[in-house]
Structures are given as structure tokens and as C-alpha cells.
Amino acid sequence: MIRTLHHMADAPCALSQVSAAMRPGGTFILEYANKQNLKAIFRYLLRRQSWNPFSPEPVEF
């Protein structure tokens, strides 16, 4: 599940459905949007982006 969980109206229900669909012992990989990713931090420190990844405000593109 790539960058979609925060769009779900009922995240616990969505994860429950994923669990029900998986095989026993299966692996679930989840990626979520995070503005404090390594690329954003380096870009900010090198002054190649204007928004601060450490700011509590959301980033709007």
C-alpha cells in the first residue's frame, strides 16, 4: 500500500481487510507520505527547496 492509507475514511477497517486478504505468514509493506524524508532534508539543507521539512505546517504543492 503506497501513500494511500491517509486517504482512507476508516484506516483500521482498511488494514483489517488487508490482513484478511493476506496468506498466513505473508508480508505487508506500507509506505506513507512523510515530508521529513532524507531527500527533502538534503534539498532543504542545500537550499534547493524553499519549504522546511521540519516545520509543523503541511506542505501544499
In this predicted structure, the answer to whether residue 61 has a pLDDT above a threshold of 80 is no
Per-residue burial over 22-40, b if 16 or more Cβ lie within 10 Å, else e, is eeeeeeeeeeeeeeeeeeb
Asked whether residue 21 falls in the same domain as residue 38, the answer is no
Asked whether residue 21 falls in the same domain as residue 39, the answer is no
Comparison of pLDDT for 59 and 55, the residue scoring more: 55
Comparison of pLDDT for 31 and 19, the residue scoring more: 19
| DSSP line for 3-42 | S-GGG-S-HHHHHHHHHHHSPTT-----B---TT-HHHHH
Asked whether residue 41 falls in the same domain as residue 25, the answer is no
pTM here is: 0.55
Q: Which domain covers residue 56, as residue numbers? A: 34-61
In this predicted structure, the answer to whether residue 44 has a pLDDT above a threshold of 90 is yes
| Total tally of structural domains belonging to the chain | 2
Whole-number mean pLDDT of the chain? 90
Q: What's the confidence (pLDDT) of residue 5?
A: 86
Comparison of pLDDT for 35 and 19, the residue scoring more: 19
